[in-house]
Amino acid sequence: MKKIVLLLIGLLFLSGWVSAYQVNIDAPDSLAVGKPLVVTGTTTFGVGTPIDVVLYYQLTTTTEIKRKIVYVQSDKSFKAVFDTTGLKPGTYKVEVPANGLGDSISMKLVTLFDRTEEISLSSPLNQGFTGKIYVSGQIKGDENSGVQIEVIDPDGLVVFGPQYVNIDNAAHFAAVVPITDPGDYEVSFTDVKGYIGSRTISSQGQATVASTVTPSETLTTNPAVISAHTQSSRDTPAYFIVKTGTGPVTLYTSKSLDWVIEYIDDKGALHMDNDQGAMNAERAEFQGNGKIVYVKVYPYKYSVASDVFLYGENVNSIVVSQTVPAPFAATESQTATTQESPVVPVIGIVAVGMALVLAHKKMD
């Protein structure tokens, strides 16, 4: 009887000892193809214990893709990193399978998605070395927004960004990245929805910019787009202060509504543009002299109000004015006076008419 009791106690002790080992892993719920899949975990296993971390593809059956052996660190943590380049979009599973040291199994489902087709580069992937690389193109569905660009050199060091670059109303962006050496540079793109994808631009040889990059792709003809935004309605228009560059200047709005642009140039002349409708951005084009231009933007319809973006090409800055700029205040005051002034002559004419009628009655 005592032997049976001791055997049961031993089994309970052994069971408790085995179940004491725990493994808990964590991984992102979703990830873009091409980004590293980082799996982290904690465990009660001893320092230096090898841990198998396996990546499976989940379809109708489970297929092992990659397996990593990592080791428990001094803080009882471990980490495995899987390269997802070339993997097809879909549902995957990362798991620490049972390894005989314990009965703990931890698993996490991860969805891989691919957005690389949303990027269309117009700048060449092979460019002559000039001390800079040119990055320009379009991103589907990101009109009037921005994209975060990061550039990594051949040694794996970040040489640009992450930095946001404006996207115009045609979903176009452009940037020039200074570099010190020729080689392959990885350019990655991220927007508000997350990581989009990456492209590799190779800078080699001693060719000039003209031999590798067409004029439409240089920063000179595709200048950086500067923008600002604020709320606007017909009763409370949006006012902007724009410091122009020298040469042709283009100002344009977002496309959400039928916007009207009014601007007062550096000579004090008032201009208005409203010929694009709601489907296209309203535009104003003029010659800049490096001076201040005051801009007013408001919706064509009285019944609407919305956020409006004002974008500028070949401008040094665009700032939202919290008050009505003086040139507009003077113009609007003059307009109001002009509209009210006809009241006096009308009243005078009516008074003279009444006097003539009364005089005619007296004569009768």
Report residue 168's pLDDT band, with 50, 70 and 90 as the boundaries.
confident
pLDDT higher than 60, residue 62: yes
pLDDT higher than 90, residue 115: no
261, containing H or E segment: strand 259-264
CB 140 within 8 A of CB 147: no
Model confidence pLDDT, tens digit, residues 237-250: 999 999 998 888 98
Mean of pLDDT values over 78-92:
90
In CATH terms, the fold of domain 2-113 is: Immunoglobulin-like (2.60.40)
Model confidence pLDDT, tens digit, residues 131-166: 888 888 888 766 556 788 889 888 888 888 888 887
Mean of pLDDT values over 242-270:
87
The CATH 2.60.120.380 portion of the chain extends over 225-323
| Rounded to 5°, angle at Cα 281 from 276 and 282 | 55
Which pLDDT score, from 0 to 100, does residue 207 have?
40
Mean of pLDDT values over 344-355:
50
Which residues are bridge partners to 227 per DSSP? 311
Does CATH place domain 116-214 in 2.60.40.10? yes
Report residue 129's pLDDT band, with 50, 70 and 90 as the boundaries.
confident
Across 46-50, 62-66, 183-187, 274-278, least confident range: 274-278
Report residue 17's pLDDT band, with 50, 70 and 90 as the boundaries.
very low
pLDDT higher than 90, residue 66: yes
Model confidence pLDDT, tens digit, residues 290-307: 999 999 999 988 888 888
111, containing H or E segment: strand 106-113
In CATH terms, the fold of domain 225-323 is: Jelly Rolls (2.60.120)
Extract long-range pairs of 99-103: CB within 8 Å, 24+ residues apart.
Answer: 99/51, 99/52, 101/21, 101/45, 101/49, 102/18, 102/19, 102/20, 102/21, 102/22, 102/23, 102/45, 103/18, 103/19, 103/21
| Rounded to 5°, angle at Cα 56 from 55 and 61 | 175
* Whole-number percent of the chain with pLDDT over 90: 20
pLDDT higher than 70, residue 256: no
Q: Pairing relation of β-strands 158-166 and 246-253? A: unpaired
Model confidence pLDDT, tens digit, residues 286-345: 999 999 999 999 998 888 888 888 888 888 888 888 899 988 887 766 655 554 545 444
